[in-house]
Amino acid sequence: MKYLKMAGLALAATAFIACNQNVPDTMEAPVEDFNFNVTEFADIGVLRYQIPGWEELDLQQQKLVYYLTQAGLSGRDITWDQNYRHNLELRKGLETIYTTYKGDKNDIDWKEFEIYLHRVWFANGIHHHYSMDKMKPQFSKAYFENLMETTGVTIKEEVWMMMFNDIDAKKVDKSKDKDIVLASAVNFYGPDVTEDEARAYYKSIPVDENEPIEVGLNSKLVKENGKLVEYTYKSGGLYGPAMDQMIYWLEKAQAVTETEEQAEALGLLIEYYQTGDLHKWDEYAIVWAKSTEGAVDWLTGFVEVYNDPIAYKGSYETIVQIKDFDMSRKMEVLSGNVQWFEDNSPLMPEHKKKEVKGVSYKTVNVAGEAGDASPATPIGVNLPNNVWIREVHGSKSVSLGNVIAAYGSAGSSGRLEEFAFDEEEVALEKEYGALADKLHTALHEVVGHASGQINKGVATPKETLKSYKSTIEEGRADLFGLYYLMDPKLEELGLVKDWKKTGTAAYDGYIRNGLVSQLVRLELGQDVEEDHMRNRQWVSAWVYEKGMADNVIQKVTKNGKTYYDIQNYEKLRELFGQLLKETQRITSEGDFEAAQALVEDYGVKVDQVLHKEVLERNSQFKTPAYRGFVNPVIKPVTIDGEIESFIIEQPVTFAEQMLMYSKKYGYLD
């Protein structure tokens, strides 16, 4: 499970953010003269990140990192095709125009073409990476036809017209009054497969009640002669050419692993990619979850189901990482007390786990990302996602330390001062906000996702809660973290110096974000669609409404601007606890109606008057609403065909890396 993709906003208590002017003192400071900023376009900013700890690895460990990153990049085009069936053809045509056009490049239409292509690169397709809306070019159809004619590029009309028409308008559409499979443009299902058909198909597949596989995770469901069939992602199957390259590099990685557990895990992953067998995926996940030794680790596969409207299909991604041993040792304190947090939570006794299994939490430094994790990256991940594996064998939680540091070093925007209620709130955020964010990430991943249990006989949340599964789960994990962020136990464990001030900064930031500042990510008139945004809004709106009688959170107008000012932090914590208890009940009992009511009543609709105001207030800031990264390029130095060392180079431009990736890793063209 991913914990948030950064947006570069003053959105405290959801992640480390660009408005925190200082890198947290527990994090390795970046090189002072390193230029983190690459480029900005539309609502996007692209950054660089460093790889702390690379020089401390020996040659074998560096080879392992290199081979794993190559395997990850080899599957990059899978993500593009998963996101939309025409993405690869459109990308090829757009890139050819970009590299061969000899006309006037100072023309405003050409500038708009460049911006559009950069947006498509960032989103891994023609739909916005966050809002899911199809991105419309700001140049005309006539101009694009002229570009194709001038450069000799041929794209089928039915394909290039998709950039301009209203067909396939949303990559993922979760509107409650639609068939969300038919309405979603994401390429996990044939264009004529309905939601009811897909759900019935997967419900009909027999699975072990105690150890169920994640049915449908690695396949596309289509109709052939009126009958539903699956195209499995595997060598010799769907995406076979890319997966063969992934296997090639994984076999090289297996030969230089640090531990027997790593070698075993990679062997099982290779078998999974060769066969598509989901039982093999579970075998891999179990061994991988238990493999906690060594300096190098990875997250890879068809993993997160956020892009599937009914939460069966996994998007391809890879994150290769080097452990930050100092930070990881400090966070072991939290992992070691996870049972205390479970036992003392406000959950109903029957919903608490009697034994929380092996949660491993580490801060790591990213060495390379691909697929759904790049260019827009999460800042934390908790895997595996299969519930029974997590309960029986445990899970790994990681915080991506160097990525977080890069966000913090990219510059302050001033949004904090604009959206915080008063100077006291600003001061607390600046002093305690970064630590509060770090702890919320850790509590969300280590305690939140690992907590609670489903009642015996109740199906999995994706079956019971359906399209609301992901936002309910993310909200549940957020609430677990919020409940404990205002707890003296954190100071007792040595994780904070002042639990009350840290908790206050965390609560201020979460409410400020959930009710106000995250609205800058939406265009006026839009509903909230993305699961994390929905969960932050329904959590914040619910506690605001339920606390109105006691004036827990006060809606204030000051100088013509709207703020939400917390009046009673202790009662707010109680409300977070009540909502956590109810959200766990919904999950444990599979209460679809309650999940739907919670999300639809509090998490979807936007106050349009407030939204207009927020957009106007935000218009003064020039920093982008969303940020992502280029990856450092790891280049081997060879002598007589043998790797002797590596050089780390940083891309000069975003376009340079995107074009190189398409040329070098375009295995599905």
What pLDDT, in 10s, does the model give residues 370-425?
Answer: 999 999 999 889 899 999 999 899 999 888 989 988 887 776 568 899 999 999 99
Using N-to-C axis directions, what is the helix angle for 108-123 and 141-151, rounded to 10°? 90
pLDDT at 22 over 70: no
Query: How would residue 9 be classed by pLDDT, with cut points 50, 70 and 90?
Result: very low
Structure tokens at 65: 């990192």
Beta-ladder partners of 321: 297, 366
The pairs formed by 423-429 with CB atoms below 8 angstroms and a separation of 24 or more are 425/508, 425/512, 428/501, 428/504, 428/505, 428/508, 429/12, 429/19, 429/20, 429/505, 429/508, 429/509
Dihedral, 395, 396, 397, 398 alpha carbons, nearest 10:
-170
What pLDDT, in 10s, does the model give residues 295-349?
Answer: 999 999 999 999 999 999 999 999 999 988 666 776 788 888 999 999 999 999 9
Q: Looking at residues 636-642, what average pLDDT do you find?
A: 96
Dihedral sign for Cα atoms in the order 263, 264, 265, 267:
positive
Question: What distance in Å separates the CA atoms of residue 525 and residue 408, rounded to the nearest whole number?
Answer: 31
Query: How would residue 32 be classed by pLDDT, with cut points 50, 70 and 90?
Result: low
What pLDDT, in 10s, does the model give residues 56-111?
Answer: 999 999 999 999 999 999 999 999 999 999 999 999 999 999 999 999 999 999 99
pLDDT at 13 (0 to 100):
30
pLDDT at 405 (0 to 100):
83
pLDDT at 365 (0 to 100):
95
The total of other beta-carbon atoms located within 10 Å of residue 140's CB is: 12
Query: How would residue 29 be classed by pLDDT, with cut points 50, 70 and 90?
Result: very low
Dihedral, 105, 108, 110, 115 alpha carbons, nearest 10:
120
Ramachandran bin of 358, using left for φ above 0, alpha for ψ from -120 to 50, beta for the remaining angles: left
What pLDDT, in 10s, does the model give residues 156-165?
Answer: 999 999 999 9
pLDDT at 204 (0 to 100):
96
pLDDT at 23 (0 to 100):
29
pLDDT at 289 over 50: yes
Question: What distance in Å separates the CA atoms of residue 451 and residue 473, rounded to the nearest whole number?
Answer: 11
Closest CA to 477 of 290, 298, 341: 341
Q: Could you tell me where the beta strands, DSSP code E, fall in 408-566? A: 553-558, 561-566
For the ranges 86-90, 147-151, 440-444, 637-641, the lowest mean pLDDT is seen at: 440-444
pLDDT at 380 (0 to 100):
86
Contact 612, 414 (CB under 8 A): no
| Strand (E) or helix (H) holding 38 | strand 37-41
3-state secondary structure of 16: coil
The total of other beta-carbon atoms located within 10 Å of residue 354's CB is: 9
Q: What percent of the chain has pLDDT over 90?
A: 83
Q: Looking at residues 525-554, what average pLDDT do you find?
A: 96
Q: Rounded to an integer, what is the distance from CA 155 to the centroid of its chain?
A: 32
Burial-class residue 500 by CB neighbours within 10 Å (0-12, 13-18, 19+).
middle
- Choice between 193 and 445, residue whose per-residue pLDDT is larger: 193
How many residues comprise the chain? 669
pLDDT at 412 (0 to 100):
58
Q: SS3 for 61-124, per residue?
A: HHHHHHHHHHHHHHCHHHHHHHHCCCHHHHHHHHHHHHHHCCCCCCCHHHHHHHHHHHHHHHHC
Q: Rounded to an integer, what is the distance from CA 579 to the centroid of its chain?
A: 24
Q: Looking at residues 33-60, what average pLDDT do you find?
A: 94
The total of other beta-carbon atoms located within 10 Å of residue 423's CB is: 9
pLDDT at 231 over 50: yes
Of the CA atoms within 13 Å of residue 246, those in its CB half-sphere come to: 35
DSSP string, 400-442: EHHHHHHHHTS---SHHHHHSSSHHHHHHHHHHHHHHHHHHHH
Which residues, 6 or more positions from 336, have their beta carbon under 8 angstroms from its beta carbon? none
Give the single-character DSSP code of 468. G
What pLDDT, in 10s, does the model give residues 494-518?
Answer: 999 999 999 999 999 999 999 999 9
Q: Which amino acid is at 17?
A: I
For the ranges 13-17, 114-118, 143-147, 400-404, the lowest mean pLDDT is seen at: 13-17
pLDDT at 14 (0 to 100):
32
Query: How would residue 15 be classed by pLDDT, with cut points 50, 70 and 90?
Result: very low
Q: Which amino acid is at 478?
A: D
Ramachandran bin of 42, using left for φ above 0, alpha for ψ from -120 to 50, beta for the remaining angles: left
Q: Looking at residues 243-248, what average pLDDT do you find?
A: 98
Question: What distance in Å separates the CA atoms of residue 318 and residue 314, rounded to the nearest whole number?
Answer: 12
Instruction: Report domain extents, the chain.
Output: 37-73+238-628, 76-166+633-665, 180-232
Question: What distance in Å separates the CA atoms of residue 515 and residue 552, rounded to the nearest whole number?
Answer: 15
Q: What percent of the chain has pLDDT over 70?
A: 94
The total of other beta-carbon atoms located within 10 Å of residue 609's CB is: 9
For the ranges 428-437, 559-568, 582-591, the lowest mean pLDDT is seen at: 428-437
Query: How would residue 246 be classed by pLDDT, with cut points 50, 70 and 90?
Result: very high
Contact 73, 426 (CB under 8 A): no
Contact 487, 503 (CB under 8 A): yes
pLDDT at 269 (0 to 100):
98
pLDDT at 268 (0 to 100):
98
Contact 448, 478 (CB under 8 A): yes
pLDDT at 580 over 50: yes
pLDDT at 206 (0 to 100):
95
What are the φ/ψ torsions at residue 42 (nearest 5 degrees)?
50, -125
Q: Looking at residues 657-666, what average pLDDT do you find?
A: 98
Question: What distance in Å separates the CA atoms of residue 88 and residue 76, rounded to the nearest whole number?
Answer: 11
Question: What distance in Å separates the CA atoms of residue 530 and residue 519, rounded to the nearest whole number?
Answer: 12
Structure tokens at 239: 């995406």
Beta-ladder partners of 256: none
What pLDDT, in 10s, does the model give residues 259-270?
Answer: 999 999 999 999
Query: How would residue 362 be classed by pLDDT, with cut points 50, 70 and 90?
Result: confident
Question: What distance in Å separates the CA atoms of residue 587 and residue 471, rounded to the nearest whole number?
Answer: 11
Burial-class residue 594 by CB neighbours within 10 Å (0-12, 13-18, 19+).
middle
Query: How would residue 28 be classed by pLDDT, with cut points 50, 70 and 90?
Result: very low
- Choice between 19 and 396, residue whose per-residue pLDDT is larger: 396
Using N-to-C axis directions, what is the helix angle for 76-83 and 59-74, rounded to 10°? 30
pLDDT at 647 over 90: yes
What pLDDT, in 10s, does the model give residues 191-226?
Answer: 999 999 999 999 999 999 999 999 999 999 999 999
Q: Looking at residues 581-585, what average pLDDT do you find?
A: 98
Query: How would residue 170 be classed by pLDDT, with cut points 50, 70 and 90?
Result: very high
pLDDT at 435 (0 to 100):
86
Dihedral sign for Cα atoms in the order 195, 457, 351, 356:
negative
pLDDT at 8 over 60: no
pLDDT at 2 over 80: no
pLDDT at 357 (0 to 100):
78
CA distances from 43 to 28, 46, 262, 502, 517 (A): 29, 10, 40, 31, 15
pLDDT at 413 (0 to 100):
66
Structure tokens at 75: 């599957």
pLDDT at 411 (0 to 100):
61
> Which CATH number among 3.40.50.970, 3.20.20.150, 3.30.540.30, 3.40.640.10 corresponds to the domain 37-73+238-628?
3.30.540.30
Beta-ladder partners of 2: 381
